[in-house]
Structure 1
Amino acid sequence: MYNLYIANKNYSSWSLRPWVLLSELGIEFVEHMNFFKGGYGKNTEFLKFSPTGLVPCLTEHSVTVWDSLAIAEYVYEQHPSVWPKDHAARAWARAAAAEMHSGFSALRNTCSMNCGVRIKLREVSPALQKDLDRLEALWLDGLKRFGGPYLAGDKFTAVDAFFCPVAFRVRSYGLKLSPKSAAYVEHLLDLESMQNWYAAALAEKARDPDHEAELEAAGDLIADYRA
């Protein structure tokens, strides 16, 4: 049985990736939630289960895997449905997931994940627009190349899980996308696992000052649906 250590569902985009992957594919795991108490690198109690003090972290018996992409690869060894069956689709999906894993810094920094709010951005910087343009190109390529409705074909796989936090960001910040990309976002948001995560995020009463400050820096609060 896998043990998955995560942080707040409202804020933690990195935690969402393996959580939604395992949940959507019906892979059993035990969830261990640990609330943020300060920003990046300040949660020293996370060192009890993660060698970096960061989440997500997955354990199985004596094995510890402390990175979301590494978790996907580890689980794939026992559950091939994590990645597409087709060789070409699998290669594309891995490359796209890796690009999300290491890139899109302007999108991350400007629009930090906060599921329960709606924000009007004060501006869309050139760097953010560049990330949105690349996001569009990547998604449209996958949807056209493999036929959709998911990025690498007709089944949800790890590449979609890596973009699930982006779906929440698009909704929270009202990011403008083409009709096809917007439809893909809605498809992700409609997933049962995403709806379950969202409901749990809204129920959280804990607030992290660092994440809340990021919202204030990004734009104006339009709505707050959190408990």
Structure 2
Amino acid sequence: MAKATLTISSKTYSAWSLRGWLLTQLAGLEVDEQRVENDAADRAELLLLSPSVLVPRLTHEGASVWDTLAIAEYLNELYPDAQMLPADRIARAHCRSISGEIHSGFTNLRSALPMNLKVRHDKFPVFSGARPDIERIEVIWQECLSKYGGPFLFGAAPTIADAMYAPVTTRFLSYAVGLSAPSAAYCQTIAAWGPMIVWREAALAEAEEFEDLDVEF
């Protein structure tokens, strides 16, 4: 049987590619990675102007799925034993809701703090418009960690929600965003998660391709 293919862009900058790849890891699906060229459409995705470009895209047994939440639901349907969503109905609805919220919102945060796994600032001026997004994310995280016991958002094991919020944790760490203790601990949990370590190491080994990218836009 042919292996699945996941189309991605930069591992350093592409939050959507990271989400798609983490979802395949949650499902236990082995994939061949296909890197897209950094054309205009890919650069738009890189700058997080839209999650709707066709990256990431999962090609699997005749299916082509190119939206992160669609990939999540597709994999959950195929691999229910992977427990990508919580077993409890109420928790499952909660997981879907916060995953949808990060998928469609937080545009000020995306523009103010673009994902860049090769930088780590001691201080960084955060655009005031991004503060409400940061505060809302902290509310989401703290509610989940308190309700389900951590260290992941829905308990002891990672779920779709953790894959969706993982790029946010990299932003907070890269730009030294001041966080509450529970939120800071959650960022460290994601940083120490095996698939995140693998992805980060690959990003650090990636050739620098966007020399003109200004991360402070």
**TM over 0.5, yes or no?**
yes
Please, which of 9, 12, 37 is the counterpart of residue 11 of structure 2? Answer: 9
Which structure has more RCO (C-alpha within 8 Å, separation ≥ 6)? Answer: 1
* Aligned 8 A contact 1:84 1:90 in 2: yes
Structure 1 unaligned spans of 5+: 43-51, 219-227
Q: CA RMSD in A?
A: 1.9
Task: Give the counterpart of 1:152 among 142, 147, 154.
Answer: 154
**Residue 118 of structure 1: how far off its partner (Å):** 2.0
2:49: which partner in 1? none
Count of residues paired in the alignment: 206
Deviations along 1:4-44, one digit per CA (max 9) or x if unpaired, are: 111110011000012122224532222212242342179xx
Code of the aligned partner of 1:167: T
Deviation for aligned residue 1:205: 1.1
Instruction: Select the structure that is richer in strand.
Output: 1
Distance 1:194 1:122, change over 3 A: closer
Q: Are residues 206 and 126 of structure 1, via their aligned partners in 2, closer, same or farther at CA, if it must alter by over 3 Å?
A: closer
Give the TM-score normalised by the residue count of structure 1.
0.84
After TM superposition, the structure 1 = structure 2 runs for residues 4-43 of structure 1, keeping only pairs within 5 Å, are 4-38=6-40, 39-40=43-44
After TM superposition, the score normalised by the length of structure 2 is 0.88
**CA distance in 2 between partners of 1:82 and 1:18 (Å):** 13
Q: Is the 8 A contact 1:3 1:29 kept in 2?
A: yes
Compared CA separation, residues 186 and 124, structure 1 to 2 (3 A): same
Moved over 6 A (4+): none
Cα distance change, pair 63–143 in 1 and its aligned pair in 2 (3 A): same
Query: Within 1, Cα distance between the matches of 2:210 and 2:70?
Result: 27
CA distance in 1, matches of 2:181, 2:149: 16
Match of 2:189 among 187, 190, 194: 187
Quote the sequence identity (%): 39
Matching of residue 67 in structure 1 with residue 71 in structure 2: no
**8 Å contact from structure 2 (residues 124, 176) kept in 1:** no
The equivalences for 1:69-88 within 5 A come to: 69-80=69-80, 81-88=83-90
Could you tell me how far apart the structure 1 residues matched to 2:89 and 2:186 are? 23
Q: Distance in 2 between matches of 1:107 and 1:41?
A: 15
1:62 shift after superposition: 2.0
Q: Residues 121, 109 of structure 1: CA spacing in aligned structure 2 closer, same or farther, 3 A cutoff?
A: farther
CA contact (8 A) 2:99 2:164 kept: yes
Cα 1:32–1:93 shift into 2, 3 Å: same
CA deviation string 1:129-168 (max 9, x = no partner):
1111101100000111111111112211110000110111
Moved more, 18-27 or 104-113: 18-27
